[in-house]
């Protein structure tokens, strides 16, 4: 039941991404770094194949109207899902905020990495990834990642179905990998060189003349 809810929630968010895409709106605030250009041609080709299949199935099943209607609904839904996957990638870019980097992959993944946990960041183009590496999170686009982020302390990553694991290396793809590395490096420098809050200053000593009368030393009695 939990798996079914997760899948239904994911598909509902894909449909919402279609609406955002049509309205040319993106999700979240911060400096945006897109990653959808690398998969645009592939997703367009896949959507075209699905449309051709829909037409072909409708022609083949024209003598069975009831079956044809059912298959038409399923095929149209499949086309919407394919377009929704691309739309989700467009409207949910990576985000760099004042205190964190949000690594995204459509509506399937949003990994928040606090800046103070990032040890290093570098441009690193890779096409092969070790899926068995337990402490690594790979977020490729078209089987490619172009940025590697190493962490001083691990963060918890939750999969689409809610499984948790600790990761200390995150690899992602960005259309402008150089710009992401540069701006993230600048943000890390600012975070590390920010002045610490000033400690409370010691209270100045109160002059004897300004002390209350009851605090002034009493004269000794001659008796």
Question: pLDDT class for 58, splitting at 50, 70, 90?
Answer: confident
Map tokens 């400690």 to a residue. 199
Q: Tell me: pLDDT of 193 over 90.
A: no
pLDDT value at residue 216: 46
Q: Quickly count: other Cβ atoms within 10 Å of residue 77's Cβ.
A: 11
CA distance 193 to 212: 46
Provide the whole-model pTM.
0.79
pLDDT value at residue 142: 83
From 137, 131, 141, select the one nearest 157 (Cα to Cα). 137
Q: Tell me: pLDDT of 215 over 60.
A: no
Sign of CA dihedral 77, 90, 21, 8: positive
């Amino acid at each position: 039941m939990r798996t079914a809810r997760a899948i239904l929630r994911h598909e509902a968010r894909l449909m919402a991404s279609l609406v955002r895409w049509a309205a040319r709106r993106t999700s979240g605030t911060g400096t945006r770094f897109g990653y959808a250009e690398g998969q645009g041609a592939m997703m367009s080709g896949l959507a075209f194949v699905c449309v051709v299949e829909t037409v072909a199935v409708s022609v083949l099943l024209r003598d069975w109207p009831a079956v044809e209607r059912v298959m038409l609904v399923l095929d149209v839904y499949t086309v919407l899902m394919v377009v929704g996957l691309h739309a989700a990638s467009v409207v949910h870019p990576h985000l760099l905020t004042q205190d964190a980097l949000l690594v995204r992959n459509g509506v399937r993944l949003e990994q928040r990495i606090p800046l103070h946990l990032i040890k290093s960041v570098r441009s690193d183009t890779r096409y092969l990834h070790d899926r068995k590496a337990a402490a690594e999170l790979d977020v490729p686009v078209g089987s490619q990642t172009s940025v590697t982020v190493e962490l001083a302390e691990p963060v918890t990553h939750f999969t689409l179905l809610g499984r948790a694991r600790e990761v200390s290396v995150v690899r992602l793809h960005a259309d402008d990998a150089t710009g992401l590395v540069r701006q993230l490096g600048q943000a890390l420098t600012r975070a590390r060189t920010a002045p610490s809050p000033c400690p409370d200053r010691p209270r100045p000593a109160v002059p004897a003349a300004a002390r209350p009368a009851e605090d002034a030393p009493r004269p000794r009695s001659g008796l």
